[in-house]
């Protein structure tokens, strides 16, 4: 199936050239009695397997017109009209086959896109999962090497186990979804929010004007405190920069260590760890 816009232009130009060459060759070879026009059928058959139906119809119409107007003329007898009718009918059949093929391709492409989204999405919260976050972080590490630093914040919930123990896992799941929405509500559209697992989240953001992400981390802490006020849930946040020469696992490890510092300090706070 054609995806690059140059592909259809090339192929339609080629099919038009084939039509012209076949018309000239058949005309020289004796007109309607020449076997050369069979190439037109072969070309249409190839188009049905690779191109959308509108292209097949347009090319088939051109071929039928050339056959009637340039090859069969001046002997528009019954055999010539029969061949033209067969060519027109074959065009319709090829267009139908192309439509079926194209529809199957679109279904397959949509299914593939759906699988890609599901593979990168946390099923409970709807945000990105750990694997997708690591992919984004890997790109951020590469970008940091070209002078585009980022900041990673690991967000671990304080008091979440108590929610599960006291109110049940359904209540805990509701808290996780609320926290996800709260985190997403205080970051930029270009930032990444992901659930690493359990009650641990991560946020990846391009370094802002302050350069260290302190304002971002403060917003994240306040957002969790707001949605968790009714159930005693807060957040311990570990923050670290992503700079040139970093490694994905090194960055995440630093952010984790910073988060544990925040938790050891009593929770509901931010701790930073430089490279």
Tens-digit pLDDT profile for residues 102-143: 888 888 888 888 787 778 899 999 999 999 999 999 999 999
Total domain count, the chain = 2
Judge if 67 and 176 occupy the same domain. no
pLDDT digits (tens, 9 = 90+) for 224-241: 999 999 999 999 999 999
Judge if 36 and 146 occupy the same domain. no
Residue 203 phi, psi (nearest 5): -130, 130
Residue 28 falls inside a structural domain: yes
Judge if 138 and 181 occupy the same domain. yes
pLDDT digits (tens, 9 = 90+) for 190-227: 999 999 999 999 999 997 655 558 999 999 999 999 99
Those residues with Cβ within 8 angstroms of residue 85's Cβ, 6 or more apart along the chain or in another chain: none
Per the confidence metrics, is the pTM higher than 0.75?
A: no
For residue 181, give its domain range.
Answer: 130-272
- What average pLDDT does the structure give for the chain? 89
As annotated, the active-site residues are: 199
Residue 63 falls inside a structural domain: yes
| Burial (Cβ within 10 Å: 0-12, 13-18, ≥19) of residue 2 | middle
Judge if 84 and 185 occupy the same domain. no
Please determine, for residue 1, whether its predicted confidence score (pLDDT) is greater than 50: no
Judge if 135 and 264 occupy the same domain. yes
Residue with tokens 């992400």: 213
């Amino acid at each position: 199936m054609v995806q690059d816009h140059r592909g259809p232009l090339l192929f339609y130009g080629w099919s038009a050239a084939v039509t012209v060459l076949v018309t000239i060759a058949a005309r020289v070879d004796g007109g309607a009695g020449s076997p050369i026009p069979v190439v037109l059928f072969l070309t249409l058959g190839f188009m049905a397997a690779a191109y959308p139906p509108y292209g097949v119809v347009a090319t088939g119409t051109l071929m039928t017109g050339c056959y009637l107007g340039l090859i069969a003329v001046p002997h528009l007898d019954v055999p010539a009209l029969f061949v033209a009718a067969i060519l027109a009918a074959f065009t319709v059949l090829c267009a139908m086959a192309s439509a079926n093929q194209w529809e199957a391709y679109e279904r397959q492409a949509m299914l593939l896109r759906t699988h890609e989204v599901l593979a990168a999405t946390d099923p409970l919260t709807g945000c990105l999962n750990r694997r997708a976050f690591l992919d984004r972080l890997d790109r951020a590490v590469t970008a940091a090497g070209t002078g585009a630093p980022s900041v990673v914040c690991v967000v671990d919930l304080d008091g979440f186990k108590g929610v599960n123990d006291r109110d049940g896992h359904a209540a805990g799941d509701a808290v996780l979804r609320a926290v996800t929405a709260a985190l997403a509500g205080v970051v930029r559209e270009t930032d990444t929010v992901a659930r690493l697992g359990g009650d641990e989240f991560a946020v990846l953001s391009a370094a802002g004007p302050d350069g260290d992400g302190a304002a971002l981390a403060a917003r994240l802490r306040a957002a969790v405190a707001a949605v968790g006020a009714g159930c005693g849930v807060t957040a311990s946040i570990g923050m670290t920069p992503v700079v040139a020469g970093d490694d994905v696992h090194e960055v995440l490890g630093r952010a984790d260590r910073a988060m544990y510092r925040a938790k050891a300090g009593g929770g509901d706070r931010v701790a930073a760890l430089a490279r």
